[in-house]
């Protein structure tokens, strides 16, 4: 058995997609494909920062030659930001060394160097090929270690069936019938998820980039994703491939604290809301989180749409778990768990006789009625707050969700969920 890892064959402007290279490689050497989402905070990613692996019974030399030929023919090497890498390991993916599986874990949460990847490959005798800066070796090695890394971490993998366009249509407008996509999505929900956004009408499965992907159907069962893909009325399909993947798993999130959170990583952070949500220019919503003396800003940006309404509903004193990438000292919120709500606030008392709000009687002297009632109060009183949010998990809508982020509909959360569909 042989594992072939490939990464960074695509381009933001020119298109291509490394999943397409993996699908073509599988057709040449046989086997199955893994799609590995890595750290979404990496600044030089093309889009979703995915690396690919093909697990095959082909011998390592044959697989290596086929992979190199495919990169040479398919990768967008004219783009100086495209830096492919290929790593080939002999043996079962379940038997890779712990260090290689550990590399996969790190690549999902850290920013790593191709030099470090090459050192590991040399240590274990893996065949490698790199182009330009060889940055793709980072993801290619991570793809080789993915299956063991997922098994060690107990990642409940999902599946994605990708339908590819005929090559002469790349870069042109996609023809996908919206009604048939919505019907297919409804027929297979919730086993198939993040296919459409039922509130905005967005076709989430249909990308807007110039590459080969026509539509991509994600879900918990490979037969369901394939059946859903076949039900969509569209332009001609060149080929299809189904990938096992860590998409929809939150594999990128690490447990952390406000004090230790660093830029370029994604976390689950327990904290208390310490400032009222503030809607700023552009519709972005900001607030401050506190944990003891530590402070960290959090934001729900405009593209997260209606998720911002839940963030606006938070109040100072609410306890939350905030999930997202930290950039420039701010957590870019992907989902939030409300752990406890502040139910009361301290207010100036009302006069029990006339119902008017009392006034201060002087420093340290409490409050008195503004009228002639003669009533007094020793200090402020607790008043119940009407809340427009409940305890539980809230998430960004499908059109704004990262590939690796776990939709609430998948379950596995530690509080009630309020899923977006």
Q: pLDDT per residue over 95-143, tens digit each?
A: 999 999 999 999 999 999 999 999 999 999 999 999 988 999 999 999 9
pLDDT of residue 45: 67
Type and span of the H or E element at 100: helix 98-107
CB atoms < 10 A from the CB of 301, how many?
A: 18
- Kindly indicate the confidence band of residue 41, based on its pLDDT and cuts at 50, 70 and 90: confident
Cα(179)–Cα(230) distance, rounded to whole angstroms? 14
C-alpha distance from residue 372 to each of 229, 355, 369 (Å):
76, 12, 7
When pLDDT is averaged across residues 40-52 and rounded to a whole number, the result is: 81
Domains of the chain, first to last: 2-153 (3.30.70.2200), 158-245 (3.90.600.20), 253-343+386-401 (2.40.50.1010)
pLDDT of residue 10: 81
For 64-68, the CB contacts below 8 A with 24+ separation are 64/4, 64/88, 64/127, 64/129, 66/25, 66/28, 66/29, 67/4, 67/6, 67/25, 67/129, 68/129
Residue with tokens 């050192």: 119
pLDDT of residue 46: 65
Question: What percent of the chain is predicted at pLDDT more than 90?
Answer: 81
- Kindly indicate the confidence band of residue 43, based on its pLDDT and cuts at 50, 70 and 90: confident
pLDDT of residue 290: 98
Cα(55)–Cα(73) distance, rounded to whole angstroms? 21
Two tokens, residue 60 = 């390592």
Task: Find how far residue 220's CA is from the centre of its chain.
Answer: 16
From first CA to last CA, the distance across the chain in angstroms is 40
DSSP letter, residue 168: G
Q: How confident is the model over 264-311, as pLDDT tens digits?
A: 999 999 999 999 999 999 999 999 999 999 999 999 999 999 999 999
Q: How confident is the model over 62-98, as pLDDT tens digits?
A: 999 999 999 998 878 777 788 899 999 999 999 999 9
Q: Name the 3-class secondary structure at 259.
A: coil
- For 16-20, 180-184, 193-197, which range has the lowest pLDDT when averaged over its residues? 16-20
């Amino acid at each position: 058995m042989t594992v072939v890892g490939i990464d960074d064959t695509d381009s933001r402007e020119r298109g291509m997609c490394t999943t397409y290279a993996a699908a073509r490689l599988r057709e040449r050497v046989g086997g199955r494909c893994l799609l590995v989402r890595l750290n979404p905070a990496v600044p030089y990613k093309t889009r979703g920062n995915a690396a690919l692996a093909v697990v095959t019974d082909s011998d390592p030399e044959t697989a290596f030659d086929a992979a190199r030929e495919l990169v040479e023919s398919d990768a967008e090497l004219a783009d100086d930001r495209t830096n492919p890498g290929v790593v080939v390991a002999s043996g079962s993916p379940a038997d890779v060394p712990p260090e290689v599986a550990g590399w996969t874990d790190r690549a999902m949460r850290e920013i790593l160097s191709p030099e470090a990847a090459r050192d590991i490959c040399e240590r274990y005798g893996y065949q490698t090929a790199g182009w330009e800066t060889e940055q793709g070796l980072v993801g290619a090695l991570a793809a080789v270690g993915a299956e063991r890394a997922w098994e060690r971490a107990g990642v409940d993998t999902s599946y994605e069936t990708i339908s590819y366009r005929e090559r002469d249509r790349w870069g042109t407008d996609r023809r996908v019938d919206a009604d048939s996509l919505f019907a297919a999505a409804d027929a297979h929900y919730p086993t198939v998820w993040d296919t459409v956004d039922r509130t905005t009408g967005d076709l989430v499965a249909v990308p807007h980039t110039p590459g080969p992907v026509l539509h991509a159907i994600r879900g918990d069962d490979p037969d369901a994703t394939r059946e859903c893909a076949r039900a969509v009325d569209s332009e001609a399909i060149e080929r299809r491939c189904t990938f096992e993947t860590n998409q929809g798993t939150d594999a990128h999130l690490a447990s952390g604290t406000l004090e230790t959170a660093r830029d370029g990583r994604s976390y689950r952070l327990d904290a208390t809301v310490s400032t009222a949500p503030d809607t700023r220019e552009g519709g972005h919503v900001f607030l401050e989180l506190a944990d003891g003396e530590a402070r960290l800003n959090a934001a729900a940006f405009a593209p997260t749409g209606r998720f911002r309404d839940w963030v606006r509903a938070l109040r100072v004193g609410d306890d939350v778990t905030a999930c997202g990438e930290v950039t420039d000292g701010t957590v870019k919120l992907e989902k939030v768990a409300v752990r406890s709500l502040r139910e009361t606030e301290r207010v100036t008392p009302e006069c029990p006789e006339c119902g008017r709000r009392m006034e201060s009687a002087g420093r340290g002297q409490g409050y008195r009625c503004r009228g002639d009632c003669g009533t007094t109060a020793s200090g402020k009183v607790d008043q119940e707050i009407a809340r427009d949010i409940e305890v539980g998990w809230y998430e960004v809508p499908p059109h704004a969700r990262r590939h690796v982020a776990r939709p609430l509909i998948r379950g596995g959360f530690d509080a009630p969920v309020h899923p977006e569909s």
